[in-house]
Structure 1
Amino acid sequence: MKFVPYLSFDGRCREAFEFYAKVLDGRIEAMISHAETPAGSQVSAGWQDKILNAHLVTEAGELMGADTPPEFGPAEQQGVSISIQIEDEARAEKIFDAFADGGTVTMPLEPTFWAKKFGMVKDRYGTAWMINCAQT
C-alpha cells in the first residue's frame, strides 16, 4: 500500500502538472482530458479539454490530480500540504523559489531547530508545500 496525493484544480491541472514535472524533475505518466473518456458527456463543452486524470512520477513519489468542473463543487485545496523531504539544500532552495514565484510564502525557507532549512509555500495553483532539509 502507498499514499498518493490527488490534487484538484480549477481548470489549470495540465499547466500545474507540466510545471511540477519541470520543478521536481518528474515525468508525466498520464494526462487524460474529459473529451478522451466516456465521462466527457457529463461536463460542459468548455471543460472537454480540461484534465480528468493526471499522473506525475518523481524520484520521491507520485502526484495525481484533475480539474474539477464547477458543477461538481469547488476545486480549492484546503487542509493538506505536500511535504518534500530533501537533503540537498541548493535543490530545496530552487524548488521553494519555483513554487514561491507567483505563489504565497507562508514561512520562508530558513534554518529551524529541527532542520537545516524548512519553509512553507502555496504555489500559484493553490497547492501547499512544505520543504524540509533535515538535520543530518
Structure 2
Amino acid sequence: MQVQSYLFFDGRCEEALNFYQAALGAEVTALMRFKDAPPQPDHPSQEGCGPAQADPEKIMHASFKIGETQIMASDGMNGGKPDFKGFSLSIEAPNEAEAERLFTAISQGGAIQMPLGPTFFARSFGVTADRFGVGWMVIVPLPDIG
C-alpha cells in the first residue's frame, strides 16, 4: 500500500510545477489539462470536468517526483486562493549545505516559520511555507535518529 500527497493549487498548479522544478529539481511525470478530458454525453454536468470550463488550459491532474517521492497536483476548482493547512511536506537532506540550498530555494517568496539550524534532534532543521502556502520542513537528521 502507498499513501501519496495530492495538492490542489486552486488555479496556480502550472506555476507551482515550474517553481518546484526550479527550486527542488522536480520532474513532471504526467500532466493532463481540463481540455484533455473526453466528452461526457451521459453526464453533461461533467463535460470538461465542470469548474475548469472557463479555462481549459488549467491542469486537471499532474504527477511529479521530488527525489524518489511522487506527488500529485491539480488546479482543482480554480478559485486562485490555495489553502494548505494541517500538514507539511518534509525533505531529508544529506548534509547541511544541501539543506541550506533546498531551504533557501523553497522559501523564496514564502514565509520562514523556523530558520534552518541545529536542534537537539537534527544536525539541521527548518520550517517554511512556500509561495503557495505549502508547508515544508527541511531536515538533516542526526546519524542515530531516523
- The TM-score with structure 2 as length reference comes to 0.83
Q: Tell me if structure 2 keeps the 8 A contact 1:111–1:117.
A: yes
Deviation at 1:56, TM superposition (A): 0.5
- More off after superposition, 22-31 vs 91-100: 22-31
- 2:116 corresponds to which letter in structure 1? L
Unaligned runs of 5+ residues in structure 1 are none
Percent identical pairs in the alignment equals 35
Post-superposition CA distance 1:20-75 (Å, at most 9, x none)? 1232223111121111113525225433111111100232311111012158xx74
Distance 1:88 1:62 in 2: 22
Report what 1:123 is aligned to: 130
Post-superposition CA distance 1:69-97 (Å, at most 9, x none)? 158xx741110100111222211111111
- More off after superposition, 112-121 vs 21-30: 21-30
CA RMSD, Structure 1 to Structure 2 (Å): 1.8
SS of 2:102's partner is: helix
The answer to whether 1:22 aligns with 2:22 is: yes
Q: After TM superposition, where is structure 1 displaced by more than 3 Å over at least 4 residues in a row?
A: none
The answer to whether 1:48 aligns with 2:56 is: yes
Figure out how many residues of one structure are paired with residues of the other and give that number: 134
- The TM-score with structure 1 as length reference comes to 0.88
Report what 1:114 is aligned to: 121
The 5 Å alignment of 1:68-107 reads 68-69=76-77, 75-107=82-114
Deviation at 1:132, TM superposition (A): 0.8
Distance 2:68 2:128 in 1: 19
Unaligned runs of 5+ residues in structure 2 are 39-46
Which has more radius of gyration? 2
Distance 1:41 1:63 in 2: 21
Report what 1:135 is aligned to: 142
